[in-house]
Amino acid sequence: MSENVSPLPIIPCPSCGANILEAGFHNTCRENVRVREDNFTYTKSGRLYLDHIEKGDETEYESDLDAYCGSCDKLLPWPTCEIRRLDGLTLKEATTKAAELVESGDISGGNA
């Protein structure tokens, strides 16, 4: 849903040089779902049966901090949460923040 009015800020992957804002980036997440099972018994034709009803699930969600380049799958020097801080900024603000992010990461080594 991009308007393509202005170029995206640049955050180059230290490994392949792709702009991760164009190539994308990914991380992994863990989800645990807790469901209450109300167990009950009943008899039918002289047999005992056990059954349960599941009620209300609670999902625990935990994102890993490690971010990986969408182009080469190499570990990036910035945690996912730092990259996501660009969300909702104006393009001018995002460009400034992206430059700060690049300066704060070790992008000179070539291999993340």
DSSP string of 20-73, one letter each residue = HHHH-EE--EEEEEEEEEEEEEEEETTEEEEEEEEEEEEEEEEE-S--EETTT-
Q: What is the pLDDT of residues 55-102, one digit of tens each?
A: 887 788 788 899 999 999 999 999 999 999 999 999 999 999 999 999
Q: Classify residue 15: in a domain, yes or no.
A: no
Q: Is the pLDDT of residue 2 over 60?
A: no
Q: Classify residue 104: in a domain, yes or no.
A: no
Q: Classify residue 109: in a domain, yes or no.
A: no
Query: How many domains would you assign to the chain?
Result: 1
Q: Classify residue 12: in a domain, yes or no.
A: no
Confidence of residue 31 (pLDDT cuts 50, 70, 90): confident
Residues in a beta bridge with 42? 49
Contact 111, 74 (CB under 8 A): yes
Confidence of residue 112 (pLDDT cuts 50, 70, 90): very low
Which of the residue ranges 1-10, 21-30, 66-75, 93-102 would you say has the lowest mean pLDDT?
1-10
Domain of 25 in residue numbering reads as: 20-99
